[in-house]
Amino acid sequence: SDLQKQGERGELLQPLIFILLVVCSILLYFKVSLMDPGFVKSEEEAEAGKSEGQSMVIPEVPSNIKMRRCGYCMVKQPMRARHCRLCQRCVRRYDHHCPWIENCVGEKNHPFFIVYLSVQLVVLLWGGHVAWSGLYSEQSWDWLQHNILLLTSFFLIVIFTVVVLLLLISQLYLISCNTTTWEFMSHHRISYLRHSELENPFDQGVVLNLWRFFC
C-alpha cells in the first residue's frame, strides 16, 4: 500500500527514470565497445561484399587522392584512416583508441560514443546530486563514520564527472571543426594536412559539420 501511495504521488517516477538512464548507459557502453569502429577492409573482403550485394560503407575515393598501403596490415589505407597497434587493424576516420571501452573510436561508433558520454554525464550529475542530498552538515566523528562511504562516492562521482565533461566538450569542439583527436594532436606529422593550403581542408562550417556527423 505504501508503494501504491508513492506511485500515486509520483515519487517513483524519478528513481525509475534514473534506473532507465543507468541501463541505457550500460547498453551504450557495450554497443560502443563491441561494435566495429570502421575497420578498413582488405581487397578480398571488399570484393566479397560487392559480389554478395552488401551495401558498402566505404565511399569512393576521389581520383586525385592516392591511397597508400598500411605498413602493418598491408591494406589500402584511405585518407583520415590510421592503423591502431592495439586493435591491429586500420580504422576509418580514426579518432583515438579509448582504454575505457577497450576499442577504437572511429567512423562507425563515434556518434554512439558521443551519445554514451552524454548519457553518462547525466547519470553522474544525477548521482552526485543524490549523494550530496544525503549529506547533512554536522561536525562530529560519528557523523564521519556513518557517512564515509557516501562521502567517498560523492568525491569519486565528482572526479568522473569532470573527466567525462572535459572529454565531451573536447569531442564536440573537434566534431564542430570536422577534425579528429589524432589529426588535432598530430597535424604536423600527417601528410595530407601538412601539405594542404588550408589549415583544415575538411571544415565545412559548424552547422554542416555537426549535421554530417550526427545525421
β partners of residue 76: 69
Classified as helix, coil or strand, 97 is: strand
Q: Is residue 73 part of a domain?
A: yes
Degrees to nearest 5, angle at CA 102 with 187 and 43: 70
Q: How many domains does the chain have?
A: 1
Q: Is 2 a domain residue?
A: no
Mean of the pLDDT values across residues 81-103? 92
Out of 84, 98, 104, 215, the active site residue is 98
Residue 59, pLDDT score: 42
The answer to the question of residue 74 being in a domain is yes
Does position 63 have pLDDT exceeding 50, yes or no?
Answer: no
Query: pLDDT at position 192, please?
Result: 79
Confidence (pLDDT) at 22: 95
Specify if 213 maps to a domain.
no
- Is the residue at 29 inside a domain? no
Asked whether residue 173 is assigned to any structural domain, the reply reads no
Residue 10 has pLDDT above 80, yes or no: no
Residue with cell 580514426: 94
User: Strand 103-105 vs strand 96-98: parallel, antiparallel, or unpaired?
Assistant: antiparallel
d(CA 151, CA 158): 11
The band of 194, judged by pLDDT with boundaries at 50, 70 and 90, is: confident
Active site residue 98: yes
**pLDDT in the model for residue 60:** 43
Residue 75 in any domain: the answer is yes
pTM over 0.85: no
**Averaged pLDDT, 94-115:** 94
Q: What angle do CA 156, 99, 172 make, to 5 degrees?
A: 80
For position 9, what pLDDT does the model report?
A: 60
Inter-CA distances, 122 with 9, 26, 75, 117, 185, Å: 24, 13, 40, 9, 28
For residues 50 and 106, the model is more confident at 106
**Distance between CA atoms of residues 147 and 78, nearest Å:** 55
- Per the structure, the complete domain to which residue 85 belongs is given by 40-98
Asked if the structure places residue 150 within a domain, the reply is no
Cβ atoms 57, 68 nearer than 8 A = no
Extract the C-alpha cell encoding 152: 567517498
Given a contact cutoff of 8 angstroms between Cβ atoms, the answer to whether 161 and 125 are in contact is: yes
